[in-house]
Amino acid sequence: MIFITGGAGFIGANFVLDWLASGDEPVLNLDALTYAGNLQNLATLVGDTRHIFVQGDIGDSSLLVRLLAQYQPRAVVNFAAESHVDRSIHGPGDFIQTNIVGTFRLLESVRAYYAQLPATDQQVFRFLHVSTDEVYGSLAKNAPPFAETHRYEPNSPYSASKAASDHLVRAYHHTYGLPVLTTNCSNNYGPYHFPEKLIPLMIVNALAGKPLPVYGDGMQVRDWLYVKDHCSAIRCVLDKAERVSAYHPCRGQVQLPAVSGVQQQPAR
Ligand SMILES: NC(=O)c1ccc[n+]([C@@H]2O[C@H](COP(=O)([O-])OP(=O)(O)OC[C@H]3O[C@@H](n4cnc5c(N)ncnc54)[C@H](O)[C@@H]3O)[C@@H](O)[C@H]2O)c1
């Protein structure tokens, strides 16, 4: 089975639903059910024994150790995060706690789990960290999309905390040999999007005849990807990527350039 964190949130829930719609490999889903987590997103899975939901925190090491030992996953996909930029500006503490400390505790538990796996299971095991292209800062007008080689320039407590988690993930490969994958996707839109995010907020306000709130001078440039394309890209990376790589799911395709000397593989 695979072990998903944050699978009751926007992207995680889409991933779990798509995963179980396209195969029978079970999913262990750990989610703290913060304001952003909503089990209604997974209502169609009630009674489906392929989906095991556990309410809990990625920072809870003893819970993680117990779940890993009990379910023996072949991969961990980390969606769990505090993800809203505006909230990170008003209260960065939760972002530091979940995105940095939580990812660190998850990595530590997975490292211990991985160390005791038989060599054949270690060969296939992957830790996939779902990150964001916001770690690269802002795009200039008419600039090409971010690439894996772009310099890290986080501008908000959210993106700084995700950047820190990316660095930890990378370090766990280089220091401990954990097979890690990182995806740095652009903004997503689609089903189960939390209403406070830009696209649903604009739609809901427009339908209600309310003003459409523009951020700053409204000139920021962002790249958008349909959430189901992002989920396909993550499945593709999980399936095909080498042991340590970073990828940008972008515009419905997975670009698979080599990083850190890793061999390039074609997308399916
Ligand atoms: N939404 C986007 O446009 C976007 C784009 C690129 C990358 N990402 C990344 O994708 C991931 C998922 O984003 P999302 O938009 O689905 O976020 P979300 O805020 O909708 O969902 C996050 C989920 O994580 C859970 N969670 C939060 N803290 C937790 C903790 N300590 N332990 C366990 N669960 C916890 C929440 O309950 C929620 O279900 C995040 O890591 C985010 O940085 C998001």
pLDDT at 259 over 50: no
Question: Does pLDDT of 168 surpass 80?
Answer: yes
* Residue-level pLDDT at 247: 73
Instruction: Please say if the pLDDT value at position 250 is more than 60.
Output: no
Indicate the pLDDT class of residue 6, thresholds 50, 70 and 90: very high
Enter the pTM of the model: 0.92
* 31 alpha carbon – ligand 1 mean position (Å): 10
Work out the pLDDT band at 249, boundaries 50, 70, 90: low
Q: Which among 110, 129, 130 is positioned nearest to 121, based on CA atoms?
A: 110
Ligand 1 atom at minimum distance from 12 CA: 16
Of 83, 168, 192, 230, which is best to mutate to test ligand 1, by the most ligand atoms within 8 angstroms of its C-beta?
83
Alpha-carbon distance 195 to 211, whole Å? 15
Distance CA 194, CA 149 (A): 30
Tokens 């060969």: give the residue.
123
Q: Which tens digit of pLDDT belongs to each residue from 195-216?
A: 888 899 999 999 999 999 887 7
Residues 264 and 256 sit within 8 Å (Cβ to Cβ): yes
Q: Could you confirm whether 134 is annotated as catalytic?
A: yes
Q: What is the pLDDT of residues 69-84, one digit of tens each?
A: 999 999 999 999 999 9
**Domain residues of the chain, as ranges?**
2-191+224-255
Residue 158 falls in the annotated catalytic set? yes
**Residue for token pair 């379910």:** 71
Which residue, 168, 146, 181, is CA-closest to 101? 168
């809203």: which residue's tokens? Answer: 84
List the catalytic residue out of 134, 148, 166, 229: 134
Say how many Å lie between the CA of residue 120 and the centre of ligand 1.
31
Please check the confidence at residue 226 and state whether its pLDDT lies above 50. yes
Residue 184, pLDDT > 60, answer: yes
Q: What is the CATH class of 2-191+224-255? A: alpha beta
18 is catalytic: no
Ligand 1 binding pocket, CB closer than 6 Å: 5-6, 8-12, 30-34, 36-37, 57-59, 79-83, 98, 102, 130, 132, 162, 185, 187-188, 194
pLDDT digits (tens, 9 = 90+) for 110-153: 999 999 999 999 999 999 999 999 999 988 878 887 888 899 99
Orientation of helix 103-115 relative to helix 157-176, angle to 10° = 20
pLDDT at residue number 267: 28
* C-alpha of 179 from chain center: 16
pLDDT score at 10 = 98
In the three-class reduction of DSSP (H, G, I as helix; E, B as strand; rest coil), residue 116 is classed as: coil
Token representation of residue 217: 């001078």
Residues 175 and 111: their CA atoms lie apart, in Å, by 11
